[in-house]
Amino acid sequence: MAVRVVTDSASSVGGPDLERLGIATVPLVVTVGERVLSEDHLQDPGSPAQVASLADLPRTSQPSPGEFASTFRSILAGGDDVLAVLISAGLSGTMRSAEMAADIVRSESPGARIAIVDSRSNSMEEGFAVLAAAEAAAAGAGLDACVEAAEETTRRTRFLFTPRTLEHLRRGGRISGAAGLLGVMLKIAPVLTAEKGATGVAAVARGGRAAWRKIASLMRGDVERFGLRRAAVQFFADRAEALRFSAEVVEPIVGATVPLVPIPPVVGVHVGPAVGVVYETERPMREVMRG
C-alpha cells in the first residue's frame, strides 16, 4: 500500500514537485474586504506586490474540515494511506481542521490509515518536511517511515527572514503599536524565525543590510556545525531584492546558486515584503522536536 502526501498552500512546494511526487494541496484562503482571492489569482506574477500594498490588511482562513475530508476520502478510495504535513498549529487552525477531518473519515471507514504531522513552521521550512515525506513515499516507504522522515526534517531546518518594515506585523497585531513605532524610530530590522511552532525573533539589527549580515552569521554557524543538505532563498513581493540577498548572503555560504522560492501569499500578507533563507542541515540542529 502506497502513501500519498497532502499539504496546504502555506508550504512553498512548487508545481513540478507537486506533480512529480503526487502531492495533494488543500488551499488556505486570503480575503480582502468581502472578496476572496483565489489560489490562481494569488499565483499571478504581480499578485504578491499588489497584496502587500493593500491599504486594508488582508485576512487568511484555514481550509475547512470538509475540504480535508474530501481529499482524504479521494486518496483512500485509490487504495493509498494518507499523510498530511501541514503549517504549524501555532500559526494557523489548519492542523485542527485536518484532525477533525481525519476523525470524520475514520468514523466512516474504520481502519483508514491517516497520519498528520505538524511541520512547526510554514513556507519552504514546511515544504522541506513535505518533500522529505513525499520522497520517502516515492521510494516505497510505509506510513510510519514517511511520518518519521517529515518529523526528522523539522529537526534539521531553519527559516531566517527579515521584513522590510514592521508595519504589516503591527497592523496584524503580531507586535504592539508601541513596539512597531519604536522599531521604526530606531530603524530596527528584526531577523525572524520559526521556533516552537510560532514566529520568534532570532536577532535584531539596525537596518536591513545589518539584518542580512546577521542572517549570514547565523546560517554560517549552523552550516559549520551541522553541515548543509539544501537551501532556498525566499521572498515576498520583490524578486530583485531576493536576487541581491542570494548573491550577497546565501551563495557565498552554499558555494552555488540556490533556488528562489516565493513566500506563499497566505504567509506573506502577515509580514509584508520580506526576504530570507530556509536551509536544511545534514545533522539535527535540535535534539528533540520543537514543541
pLDDT of residue 273: 87
CA distance 224 to 222: 6
pLDDT of residue 208: 85
- Best CATH choice for the domain 157-280 from the list 3.40.50.80, 3.40.50.12780, 3.30.1180.10, 3.30.420.40: 3.30.1180.10
Give me the pLDDT at residue 267, please.
86
| CA proximity to 291, closest of 97, 83, 120 | 120
* pLDDT for the residue numbered 59: 73
The CATH number of 3-28+63-154, from 3.40.50.1000, 3.40.50.300, 3.40.50.10440, 3.90.1150.10, is 3.40.50.10440
Cell reading at 239 = 524578486
Q: Which of 154, 199, 195, 145 is nearest to 174 (CA)?
A: 199
Domain assignments of the chain as residue spans, ordered by start? 3-28+63-154, 157-280
Instruction: Give backbone dihedrals phi and psi of 141, rounded to 5 degrees, phi first.
Output: -70, 150
pLDDT at 194: 86
- What digits encode the pLDDT tens for the residues 39-93? 555 555 555 555 555 555 667 788 999 999 999 999 999 999 999 999 999 889 9
| DSSP letters for 128-194 | HHHHHHHHHHHTT--HHHHHHHHHHHHTSEEEEEEES-SHHHHHTTSS-HHHHHHHHHHTEEEEEEE
- How far is it, in rounded angstroms, from Cα 273 to Cα 290? 27
pLDDT value, residue 39: 54
Residue 17, pLDDT score: 96
What pLDDT, on a 0 to 100 scale, did the predictor assign at position 104? 98
Pick out the chain residues at pLDDT < 50: 174, 176-185, 288-291
b/e map of 124-144 (b: 16 or more CB within 10 Å)? bbbbbbbbbbbbbbeeebebe
Are the C-beta atoms of 260 and 158 separated by less than 8 Å? no
Q: What is the pLDDT of residue 178?
A: 38
Please report the pLDDT score of residue 181 as a whole number.
41
Class of residue 194 by CB neighbours under 10 A (exposed 0-12, middle 13-18, buried 19+): buried
